[in-house]
Structure 1
């Protein structure tokens, strides 16, 4: 998302944050998801609400006429803010409404003190899907109805994850919009990281880290990068020992496996 769409998204997100303190965030999230799906389902409506050549007031009036009696005042305020923006693409409008819904779910998790847990559970589930070809295939088949895929996710996470985690994990199969499942989950994780104004490190290690080790690693990385760092841990026995830390495109590989590979290359040379 770039140009006018980025500014429109920022304005809509600011409106969401103004509305959130006075509403039930999960209820608002459900309404925003439903609004996004309804708008996305009709190309003519999507183009009319996102048309950059039209002033904001007729688009707000159209939105009120179609949805004003079907959603809460808070959801309507957020929607009006979104359709008032100038969008580079009509798809950007739908994308933003969905992102705001995800942000509202994460706000609810933050309010309940479980945002860290939800973020960690989403990450672990994405890793599970990425490492299991059969599961990834089951969640990506277009011939399989989204509801059946969502039921599979519920079965896999039942009793193992927060309700918010299960809800967010189902979103990419209920409303995929052409995205691969893992990419959609990573998008959610980025929204969570942005909500807390931090960056995320993917740490690969041979053994699970103790809580104190995580805290020390997070503190050390925060000192290096000048920002809070949330640590997601991937346990991979094949690294043998040490750590590999990935932040964005930057990788710091201090694993035993990497050192052995360096030795082999040196001996080969």
Structure 2
């Protein structure tokens, strides 16, 4: 999302956080289901995101569509989203879906399992990235969504938190043109943001010790003046050193990066 859509989603997420929704276990699935309805109805999503229509009219339309189909609180959250400014109908779909994800994370946080869910999402992201056959099976549009769901349940059921399983299942069944790895990474970042911490994706040439990881997190925390979660990925191609990505910012201290800089200077 860009511009007004990003601002609207941020405000809608804050409004969701101010509601007493932690104990409403079905809220996430209802919001995600609402996003699926909007994704499948272009006329509706475009009408609800049309900034040329009065806010009250868009909110009333959302209520008329979803009343009796989802719980009252879920309906009001969708109506609130519809009343905000969006660059496109697809941004509204993404926002309602994102609010469903946020509701799931709030539920996990209330149960003291948010750290677990975030870690599991990251590990699943790494599993998918490292297994070409699995990635193709889960991303292949010609494969029936139900078969993908069954494959996913076979891999994860009983091994991860139910919140983790449902979030990943949704991404697999409803890709909406997204790369699965990018979608999983976005969920990890959303979870980290939920805890008001920065997420640092760190690539190293070889595994580091727990003490080294702790000292790295502390050093990054001093730089950014925020608590930092470190998620490690081992990639022999970096050769040595460390590469850190926080949001759109990259700190590349790897040997491979320095060698590439030297190579560019030699040929320039």
TM norm. shorter chain > 0.5? yes
What does residue 3 of structure 2 align with? 3
Query: Structure 2 length normalisation: TM-score?
Result: 0.87
After superposition, the Cα gap between the structure-2 partners of 1:60 and 1:238, relative to the gap in structure 1 and judged at 3 Å, is closer
1:63 aligns with 2:62: yes
What does residue 18 of structure 2 align with? 18
SS at 2:86 equivalent? coil
Instruction: Tell me if structure 2 keeps the 8 A contact 1:23–1:74.
Output: no
What does residue 201 of structure 1 align with? 200
SS at 2:159 equivalent? coil
SS at 2:58 equivalent? helix
Instruction: State how far apart, in whole Å, the 2-side matches of 1:44 and 1:80 are.
Output: 16
Kindly state the Cα deviation for residue 53 of structure 1 after the two structures are TM-superposed.
Answer: 0.8
Instruction: Tell me if structure 1 keeps the 8 A contact 2:49–2:89.
Output: yes
Instruction: Tell me if structure 1 keeps the 8 A contact 2:206–2:236.
Output: yes
Structure 2 unaligned spans of 5+: none
Query: Structure 1 length normalisation: TM-score?
Result: 0.87
Kindly state the Cα deviation for residue 8 of structure 1 after the two structures are TM-superposed.
Answer: 2.4
SS at 1:124 equivalent? helix
Instruction: State how far apart, in whole Å, the 2-side matches of 1:207 and 1:159 are.
Output: 30
Instruction: Tell me if structure 1 keeps the 8 A contact 2:238–2:254.
Output: no
Kindly state the Cα deviation for residue 207 of structure 1 after the two structures are TM-superposed.
Answer: 5.3
- Which deviates more from structure 2 when the two are superposed, residues 173-182 or residues 227-236? 227-236
Instruction: Tell me if structure 1 keeps the 8 A contact 2:5–2:85.
Output: yes
After superposition, the Cα gap between the structure-2 partners of 1:110 and 1:6, relative to the gap in structure 1 and judged at 3 Å, is same
SS at 1:88 equivalent? coil
Task: Within 5 Å, give how 1:243-254 maps onto structure 2.
Answer: 243-247=242-246, 248-253=248-253
Structure 1 unaligned spans of 5+: none
Instruction: State how far apart, in whole Å, the 1-side matches of 2:112 and 2:214 are.
Output: 18
Kindly state the Cα deviation for residue 57 of structure 1 after the two structures are TM-superposed.
Answer: 1.5
What does residue 80 of structure 1 align with? 79
Instruction: State how far apart, in whole Å, the 2-side matches of 1:26 and 1:174 are.
Output: 21
Kindly state the Cα deviation for residue 252 of structure 1 after the two structures are TM-superposed.
Answer: 3.6
Task: Within 5 Å, give how 1:130-141 maps onto structure 2.
Answer: 130-141=129-140
Number of residue equivalences = 263
Kindly state the Cα deviation for residue 137 of structure 1 after the two structures are TM-superposed.
Answer: 0.9
- Which deviates more from structure 2 when the two are superposed, residues 240-249 or residues 78-87? 240-249
What does residue 34 of structure 1 align with? 33
Instruction: State how far apart, in whole Å, the 2-side matches of 1:88 and 1:254 are.
Output: 39
Instruction: State how far apart, in whole Å, the 2-side matches of 1:50 and 1:252 are.
Output: 40
Instruction: Tell me if structure 1 keeps the 8 A contact 2:22–2:107.
Output: no
Instruction: State how far apart, in whole Å, the 1-side matches of 2:202 and 2:21 are.
Output: 38
